[in-house]
Amino acid sequence: MHELSLIQSLLTIVEQYAGREKFSRVRSLKLSFGRLSCLDRKSLEFAFSVQSAATIVEGAALDFEILPARIYCFSCEEDIVLPGALAEYCPRCQGQDIVLSGGTEELKLLEMDVD
């Protein structure tokens, strides 16, 4: 559901850029978010396809950079990328003294390819 309000905000941001940078068509948009942020790629794509109709981004390709879950392990003293969702142990040393260090990043517009 929140995908609808996020895509609405995205369209507003693109239109503001279009006014400033004087472009009239968007070929593609690159977005990013963390895989633990509870955003759903399919819902974003669907919301985009519906809401972009008759705007300057209609038909633009969406490109996603999905950032992995990461923990900091106090035993390894290192930031470690997790293969999946949040784990209870450090995948390297099985240590439990860990803290989430990435994966909940909010939705960002990284770049656009425009005409």
Partner 1 sequence: MLVRTVTNILDANNRIARDNRALFDEKKVFVINLMSSPGAGKTSLVERTIDGLRDRYRIAVIEGDIQDSFDAERIAKLGIPVIQINTGGACHIDGNMVQEILPNFDLGAIDLLITENVGNLVCPAEFNVGENIKVMILSTPEGDDKPRKYPLMFEKSAALIINKMDLMAHVSFNIDKAIKDSLIINRNLSIFQVSCKTQAGLEQWFEWLRDRMNDFFARRP
> Going by DSSP bridges, is the β-strand pair 70-73/98-102 parallel, antiparallel, or unpaired?
antiparallel
Total residues at interface with Zn ion (CB under 5 A): 8
Binds 100: which of partner 1, Zn ion, none (CB < 5-8 Å by kind): partner 1
Residue 2 or 92 having the CB closest to partner 1? 2
92 interacts with Zn ion by CB under 5 A: yes
* Residue 21 contact, options Zn ion, partner 1, none, Cβ 5-8 Å cut-off depending on partner type: partner 1
